[in-house]
């Protein structure tokens, strides 16, 4: 039997990447794409609009992820099938046809604009919705790998697990891994910012009670008020430390301002 409280999932090789921009039109800017080419890092995509056009050029085989993008209608509760048919299907299928196989299914489901309070009211209800949606994706996209969605930590960051644990229990058999978000607010204390980010990542398997699945830190950053140079130093130091945590496949730096 595996040792308790130690990672015993698939072997991973850590990589650091960049979270793609929140607006799809940025991808149409030549300068933006040239910058990404210079960085030559893995890119996380969102599944909406025409972003799939750039997936073959900018994804990297060692670390790749597409977030299943959905903005729920607060005035109309939808089933998973309705959400798929009306809002999600085309984006996911476009990426799948381009070769994408790793999908983070939805995003920060505790937030109102992501569904909390109108599509679901607690983690168990979200888990029921998520299970239906994951089964639909698997039926339409053979060979996909599905990742449980990340949550922003908040203060204290442990608040998220009262929601996430019961939700994850409903879908654990469908998930190939888990995503998490790690953030720090310190804008002039590099050591504290790094320690906060790395501490959240180090403790995540324990907090979720899951030791047999890899983790992707699908959003990570320090407060946007910090200077770019400061943020770069924090990210470089955090990446070095995260790469030593068993089971962490990679991190995507969340860049607030692409200009």
The tens digit of pLDDT for each residue in 13-27 reads: 999 999 999 899 999
pLDDT range class, residue 85, cuts 50, 70, 90: very high
Q: How far apart are CA 225 and CA 220, in angstroms?
A: 15
Q: How far apart are CA 252 and CA 166, in angstroms?
A: 26
The pLDDT score that the predictor gives to residue 80 is 98
Q: Are 41 and 244 in contact (CB under 8 A)?
A: no
Residue matched to tokens 């990446």: 239
Q: How far apart are CA 222 and CA 233, in angstroms?
A: 11
Mean pLDDT across the stretch 220-247? 94
**pLDDT, tens digit (0-9, with 9 covering 90-100), for 24-64:** 999 999 999 999 999 999 999 999 999 999 999 999 999 99
CA distances in angstroms from 126 to 163, 164, 171, 172, 255, listed in the order given: 9, 9, 10, 13, 28
The pLDDT score that the predictor gives to residue 152 is 81
- pLDDT > 70: percent of the chain: 98
pLDDT range class, residue 2, cuts 50, 70, 90: confident
Q: Tell me the three state secondary structure of residue 122.
A: coil
Is a pLDDT exceeding 70 seen at residue 256? Answer: no
Residue matched to tokens 């992707």: 216
Mean pLDDT across the stretch 127-139? 98
N-terminal to C-terminal alpha carbon distance within the chain:
51
The pLDDT score that the predictor gives to residue 1 is 79
**pLDDT, tens digit (0-9, with 9 covering 90-100), for 90-101:** 999 999 999 999
Q: Tell how strand 43-46 and strand 15-19 pair up.
A: parallel
Other beta carbons less than 10 A from residue 51's beta carbon: 23
Mean pLDDT across the stretch 209-223? 95
Which tops the pLDDT comparison, 155 or 113? 113
Residue matched to tokens 């009262």: 162
Q: Are 107 and 150 in contact (CB under 8 A)?
A: yes
Residue matched to tokens 């072997």: 11
Is a pLDDT exceeding 60 seen at residue 259? Answer: no
């Amino acid at each position: 039997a595996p040792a308790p409280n130690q990672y015993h999932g698939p072997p991973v090789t850590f990589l650091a990447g960049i979270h793609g921009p929140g607006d799809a039109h940025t991808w149409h800017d030549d300068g933006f794409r040239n910058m990404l080419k210079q960085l030559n890092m893995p890119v996380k995509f969102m599944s909406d609009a025409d972003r799939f056009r750039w997936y073959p050029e900018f994804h990297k085989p060692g670390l790749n992820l597409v977030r299943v993008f959905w903005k729920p209608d607060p005035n109309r509760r939808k089933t998973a099938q309705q959400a798929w048919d009306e809002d999600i299907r085309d984006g996911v299928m476009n990426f799948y046809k381009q070769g994408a196989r790793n999908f983070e299914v939805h995003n920060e489901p505790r937030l109102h604009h992501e569904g909390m309070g109108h599509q679901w009211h607690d983690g168990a209800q979200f888990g029921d919705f998520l299970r239906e949606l994951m089964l639909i994706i698997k039926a339409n996209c053979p060979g996909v790998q599905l990742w449980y969605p990340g949550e922003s930590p908040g203060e204290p960051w442990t608040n998220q697990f009262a929601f996430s644990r019961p939700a994850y229990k409903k879908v654990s058999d469908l998930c190939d891994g888990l995503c998490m978000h790690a953030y720090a607010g310190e804008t002039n204390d590099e050591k504290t910012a790094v320690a906060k980010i790395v501490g959240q990542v180090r403790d995540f398997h324990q907090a979720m009670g899951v030791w047999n699945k890899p983790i992707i830190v699908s959003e990570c950053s320090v407060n946007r008020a910090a200077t770019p140079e400061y943020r770069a130093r924090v990210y470089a130091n955090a990446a070095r430390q995260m790469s030593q945590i068993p089971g962490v496949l990679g991190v995507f730096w969340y860049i607030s301002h692409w200009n």
